[in-house]
Amino acid sequence: MGNENRIINGLLKLHIVLCLLFIFAPIAGSFVFSLNSDRFPSLPLGTFSTDWYRAIWEDPLVWQGFGNTLIVGLTVAVIATLLGFGGAYTDFRYNFTGKSIYVALALLPPTIPVVIMGLAMLAFLSRINLSGTTISVIIAHGVMCAPFAMAIIRLRLSQMDPDLEAASWNMGGNQWQTLRYVIIPFAKPAIFAALFITMAVSFDEFAVAWFVSGLNETLPVKILGFLQGQVSPRINAIGSLAFLSSMTLIILAQLLLRSPEDQKK
Amino acid sequence: MTKRPTFFSLILSLPLLIWQLTFFLFPLLFLVAISFWTVRNFQMTPDLNFGNWERVLSRGVFWDAYLRTFILATAAAAITSAIAFPASYAISFKMSEKAKRWMIFILIIPFFTSYLVRVYSLQVFLSDAGIINAAFAYIGLGPFSMLNNAFGVIVGMVTLTLPLVILLQTFSLNFVNRDLIEAAHNLRCGRLRTVFAVIAPSAKVGLVIAALFSFILSFGDFVSPLYLGGGNPPTLSIMITDFTKSGQQWPRAAVVAIMMIATLLTTAFAAITYAYKERGK
Amino acid sequence: MKVDTQMEVQSEAIVRFDNVVKRFGSFVAVKKADFEIGRGEFLAIMGSSGCGKTTTLRMLAGLEDPSEGAIYLDGEKVNGKATWDRDTPMVWQSLALFPFLTVQENVEFALKMRGVGKEERRRRAEKWLEKMQITEFASRNINQLSGGQKQRVALARALVTEPKILLLDEPLSALDAHLKVRMQAVLSNLQKDLGITFVYVTHSMSEAFSMADRVVIMSRGQIEQIGTPEEIYREPYNRFVAEFLGSANIFDGTVAGPSGADGWRVTFDGGETVLPKAELPDASAGQAVTFIVSAENMQLSRPDAGQDGIAATIAGEEFIGGTAMLFLETDTGQELKVQKSHDELALLNRQAGAKLVVHWAAEHCHILPGENK
């Protein structure tokens, strides 16, 4: 276009930089603070220190929380991905009355405030004597994560030539064989991405877990505990570690989702 | 192909349905039920008691909190949208495809950081003796009070929703027909006027939905109001946690929660109706 | 439905459509399809998009169930039989090759679904890879192949089970023109070699007419005519077919009386002609009659040549290889098409607006049986 304006474009770029600064300052800050000796950092910053990491390293409760987070994360990822795959395939393949309700019910949970979800879950799960157990956290996270898995896999299925499935039936593959040899291979990258991303979401969904779980605390619950009691900079160290592990999962998912067709020779 | 559901189709579709009915819809309905229960001696008993509704809805504290939450969320949605739009516009119209993909990836990263950790970090930035005020002190200004007030809460909510709003706005701007813009220029519509007269209306649905998401997330947020707003006076979500912690007043918490969901649904319905309303008859 | 059934099915039928109707909600996609497909026949089903040709094919494949009527495959009624229980492989318009499998794995697919062992799968797939001359690509990914190579993979994949019938749904539509012609030859030869039945759906007249033994013409769910390419071209059954072929001038006239011993004098808006009695054995004066004259059988003369005929004005011209199609308009507004060689046309004044006289010999008039009942 011949009518670009340098000044305007420069200002827009500056605006983007400021937005990113605003978004990432707290995240970067948390990293910096986790390696800072001050209890409550300010300018000028204190000296470099790994004390906070040592403190969490030596805290058995943190380890226990970490273990729970891992178990919950893995289980949730598998359950949410299985449920999400079924939902995504149903939406992709079938038309039936009430389908919009089915899809809405499947995708709605993330729009309900976590406080309310937590309250409802706790009320319900304590009624059926499940509150405070690891299972209850898994159930709650499953509800929150299944929509993400469904969305990711649905997106992949929408890239599939619908004739592929019919072609498989036409060549003698029944529905189960077609699922096994066509749909799943095609959706495989998205299935793995869904596994990783739901695991990352589970790591992060502290609020529901806080309400629902009792003693068997997951890592985010632990973080909330720190915040409620005396504010401890250890949260920065834990947050940074959790962030690094989440990012590892996301980058793995990203690599999987990137044009899988090219990966084969 | 076949009309009647097959065993195959049921195996795939039912688990999710059953799971979400049992663990999502049913708990929410259960919440409605317990809003009518009674609490005696810190024990809930099933009942059909309208007292909880009466008590909550007749109290000024609730309506103050309701109004405060609504205004905070609306302000957060408006401010976030306003900040996001120039950025989304620049990403969608001024960047190469490759740069766009990178921006999208960068903007997804915050979703995988703990919001709580970010808010804690913001406390360090915003407090009276914090990093920003220390920086102001160097040039002889301040200290400014940025924590435990509405400013802090809004900053927190904008932090929470800005990446999402930029992403949603960018996606909707990507769908604006580029020819429309050149047609507008060709008809002597100035650059800035084109943005407001052509681009924004073309992307209306996406812009409204982005603002709606910002509103929904801010309205239900309890981390910012608690840790950046000081928790006092409370917002609705803080009220819920307070009710549950003090004296097992779950039915009242349920009433507040139902009011919140009703508000969210009404707002969402209104916003979506507005977004899809076509001009002309 | 009236279908020209004078053509006999060549041999024992492998497929029979018995008054098959297909509805999608209130939309009728196929209306009372009633025809047979002979063993070893190359049948093309032709029509524009949405005419029901693909639905007809998909019903045969078992991908759609008929709403009414019955489909017989090899003597067996197959309504309700799942596609995976039939042996009706299809070559898809999109080719529908599996992008996550290699060429070899694609070809082996149908055998794998049938539980054929690994060794035999490989052996049989290799045979077809060789037959289709794609052995060298066996371990390649689908996306690395050219359009023509993909086409061959799709054929090998469909034929690997050695079926009695092969269904093809516009398989050549994605190819460019010269490749299309080459693949037509490949398909024709393949069908003759294998001696199996091909059912070929297409919107292209040139594809259908150059390959098929018989052609089914469909429009809006209705079968308009079934016949050999020659029959259809020489004697289109009704107005739709004549218009679809695109090269016929259609006239709506009235019988004015006998003309000699073996003809009828027919008047129409803007002129009159003689219709051979062979075309219309019985007629009475005043009877309406619709007939066609093919564009290449039309003659042109200068207005001053004294030739009897219809006066018409040139409206435009279209270049068609070695010939040109001249579009004219009569004084009464009827459009006429005349196809002539360039040499012949060069002798005439062909500027837009120029006047010419159009005429034809009586033997080139054919009535449309479907319009004269």
Q: What is the pLDDT of residues C288-297, one digit of tens each?
A: 889 999 988 9
Residue C8: pLDDT above 60?
A: no
B-chain residues near C65 (CB < 8 A): 1-2
For C173, other C-beta atoms within 10 Å of its C-beta total: 13
Whether residue A39 is predicted with pLDDT greater than 90 in this model: the reply is: no
Output the pTM of the full model: 0.81
Domains plus CATH for chain A?
A: 56-262 (1.10.3720.10)
Q: What is the pLDDT of residues C127-166, one digit of tens each?
A: 999 999 999 999 999 989 998 899 999 999 999 999 999 9
B171 chain-A contacts, CB cut-off 8 A: none
Which of B113 and C25 is assigned the larger pLDDT? C25
- State percent of chain C over pLDDT 90: 55
pLDDT at C1: 40
Residue B1 with chain C: CB contacts under 8 Å: 63-65
Residues 46-85 of C with CB under 8 A from A: 61-63, 82-84
Task: Answer yes or no: are the C-beta atoms of C167 and C159 closer than 8 Å.
Answer: no
Confidence at A228, pLDDT banded by 50, 70, 90: low
CB C1 within 8 A of CB C34: yes
Instruction: Tell me the C-alpha distance between C293 and C234, whole Å.
Output: 10
**Average pLDDT, rounded, for chain A:** 81
Region C277-301 average pLDDT: 87
pLDDT digits (tens, 9 = 90+) for B159-203: 999 999 999 999 999 988 888 888 888 888 888 888 888 888 889
Under an 8 A CB cutoff, do B9 and A90 touch? yes
CB pairs under 8 A between A and C: 77
The Cα of C58 is separated from the nearest Cα of chain B by a number of Å equal to: 11
For B55-276, which CATH class?
mainly alpha
In whole angstroms, give the CA distance from residue B29 to residue B216.
20
A130-134, A167-171, C50-54: segment of lowest average pLDDT:
A130-134
Which residue in B has a C-alpha nearest to residue C66's C-alpha?
B1
% of residues, chain B, pLDDT over 90? 43
List the single residue in A19, A117, A223 with the smallest CB-CB distance to B87.
A19
Is the pLDDT at C7 greater than 50? The verdict is no
B218: helix, strand or coil: helix
Max mean pLDDT among A242-246, B36-40, B82-86 falls in B82-86
Residue C73 Cα, gap to closest chain B Cα (Å): 19
Report C:131-190 residues touching A (Cβ under 8 A): 139-141, 143, 157-158, 161
- Smallest CA–CA distance, residue B271 to chain A, in Å, is 15
Per DSSP, helices labelled H in C76-176 are: 103-113, 118-131, 147-159
At residue A219 the predicted structure's pLDDT band, cuts being 50, 70 and 90, is low
Percent of chain C at pLDDT exceeding 70: 97
For chain C, the average pLDDT equals: 89
- Which of A179-183, C144-148, C236-240, C275-279 is predicted least confidently? C275-279
For residues A86 and A79, the answer to whether their CB atoms sit within 8 Å is: no
Give the pLDDT confidence score for residue C153 in this predicted structure. Answer: 95
Identify the pLDDT of residue A12: 92
- State residue C5's pLDDT score: 44
ipTM of this predicted structure: 0.85
Chain C's closest residue to B1, CA to CA, is C64
Q: What is the pLDDT, as a whole number, of residue B250?
A: 85
**Subunits close to C (at least 3 CB pairs below 8 A):** A, B
- Partners of C63 on chain B (C-beta within 8 Å) are 1
Interface of A with C (CB under 8 A): 161, 163-164, 166-174, 177, 181-182, 185-186, 188, 260-262, 264-265
Q: Which residues of C touch A184 (CB under 8 A)?
A: none
- Say yes or no: C45 contacts chain A, CB-CB below 8 A: no
Query: Are C302 and C348 in contact, with CB atoms under 8 Å apart?
Result: yes
Count Cα neighbours of C87 within 13 Å in the Cβ-side half-sphere.
14
Of B12, B25, B117, the CB nearest to A223: B117
- What pLDDT band is residue B279 in, cutting at 50, 70 and 90? low
Instruction: Please name the residues between 209 and 228 in chain C that touch chain A, using a CB distance below 8 Å.
Output: none
Domain ranges of chain B: 55-276
C-beta separation of B261 from B65 below 8 A: no
C286: left (phi over 0), alpha (psi -120 to 50) or beta: left
Please tell me if residue A175 touches chain B, with a CB cutoff of 8 Å: yes
Q: What is the pLDDT of residues B90-118, one digit of tens each?
A: 999 889 988 998 998 899 888 878 787 88
pLDDT above 60 for A2: no
Residues of A in contact with B15 (CB under 8 A): 82-83, 86
**Quick one: average pLDDT of C282-307?**
87
Q: Which of B162, B221, B240 is facing A23, going by the closest CB pair?
A: B162
Q: Is residue A208 over pLDDT 60?
A: no
Summarize pLDDT for C340-361 with one digit per residue, the tens. 888 888 888 778 888 889 999 8
A128 touches chain B (CB under 8 A): no
More confident residue, C95 or C270: C95
Of A113-117, B154-158, C226-230, least confident by mean pLDDT is A113-117
Residue C65 predicted with pLDDT over 80: yes
Would you state the pLDDT for residue B15? 96
pLDDT at B141 over 60: yes
Taking only the tens place, the pLDDT of each residue in C198-214 is: 999 999 988 999 999 99
Cβ within 8 Å, pair A106-B20: yes
Which domains does chain C show, CATH number per domain?
13-241 (3.40.50.300), 246-371 (2.40.50.100)
A chain contacts of residue B159, beta-carbon cutoff 8 Å: 22-23, 26
How far does C63 lie from chain B, in Å, by closest CA? Answer: 7
Task: Please give the Cα distance from B175 to B162 (Å, whole number).
Answer: 20
pLDDT for the residue numbered B82: 96
Tens of pLDDT, residue by residue over A243-254, are 888 788 778 877
Spatial strand order of the sheet with C335-341 comes to C299-301, C355-359, C310-320, C323-330, C335-341
Cα–Cα distances in Å, from A41 out to A37, A56, A233, B78, B123?
Answer: 8, 19, 9, 32, 10
